């Protein structure tokens, strides 16, 4: 997305409008999710390869870690802008179902309870026991509450993940609102504000020498 020329003028005058903040936050947030999706895809491919070849070197080129670092970098930028320029509206609570897998080996009593029942099964050679060991991966579903600090602008909304302890100790005065879902999709980078624009805006905020303007009336006065 091409940055409007007027935004560069505002940055030169040390002015940040709500629209500029929205564009930066949206771009940074979606880029973080793009890197998260790349990380998960690398992890899935490596896990699948390792599952079929125990000698496979997991993430040989460090792609998962590289994606994770970029993801965290963008999320840190988003959190910085939100906490510096906006105030949270409330805490959102999302009940999430999680699936984990418990590996049961053929020398355990439970093994034959799940053997040949449609679960993933495989085996490996145990050098110490000098025999083949079979196993089955059994899915286990649990639910847990996830908490998010909720911020809102005129056109967008954003979240920052929280622990339950943070909710109780740091944000106890905020209302807790239950939600049913949370959008977590990425976006084509051609539809996002440029990283150069976002960096300039972040650097200006870090300088602590700027004016944040929410409406056009005050913008005209400032210019």
pLDDT in tens, 77-111: 999 999 999 999 999 999 988 888 999 999 999 99
CB burial readout 147-160, b (16+ within 10 A) else e: bbbbbebeeeebbb
Task: Name the β-bridge partners of 92.
Answer: 148, 177
Q: What is the 3-state secondary structure (H, E, C) of 141-170?
A: EEEEEEEEEEEECCCCEEEEEECHHHHHHH
pTM (predicted TM-score): 0.77
Beta partners for residue 93, in sequence order: 147, 178
- The answer to whether 197 and 205 are in contact (CB under 8 A) is no
Q: Which of 188, 222, 221 is nearest to 12 (CA)?
A: 222
Looking at residue 54, its pLDDT comes to 67
């Amino acid at each position: 997305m091409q940055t409007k020329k007027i935004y560069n003028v505002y940055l030169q005058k040390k002015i940040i409008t709500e629209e500029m903040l929205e564009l930066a936050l949206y771009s940074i947030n979606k880029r973080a999710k793009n890197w998260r999706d790349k990380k998960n895809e690398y992890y899935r491919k490596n896990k699948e390869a390792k599952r079929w070849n125990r000698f496979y070197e997991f993430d040989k080129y460090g792609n998962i870690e590289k994606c994770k670092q970029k993801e965290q970098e963008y999320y840190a930028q988003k959190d910085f802008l939100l906490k510096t320029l906006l105030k949270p509206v409330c805490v959102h609570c999302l009940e999430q179902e999680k699936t984990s897998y418990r590996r049961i080996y053929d020398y355990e009593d439970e093994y034959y309870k799940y053997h040949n029942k449609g679960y993933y099964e495989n085996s490996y050679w145990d050098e110490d026991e000098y025999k083949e060991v079979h196993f089955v991966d059994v899915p286990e579903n649990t639910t847990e509450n996830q908490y998010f600090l909720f911020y809102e602008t005129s056109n967008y909304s954003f979240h920052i993940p929280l622990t339950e302890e943070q909710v109780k100790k740091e944000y106890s005065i905020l209302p807790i609102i239950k939600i049913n879902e949370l959008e977590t999709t990425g976006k084509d980078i051609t539809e996002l504000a440029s990283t150069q624009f976002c960096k300039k805006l972040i650097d200006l905020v870090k300088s602590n020498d700027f004016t944040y303007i929410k409406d056009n009336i005050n913008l005209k006065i400032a210019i």
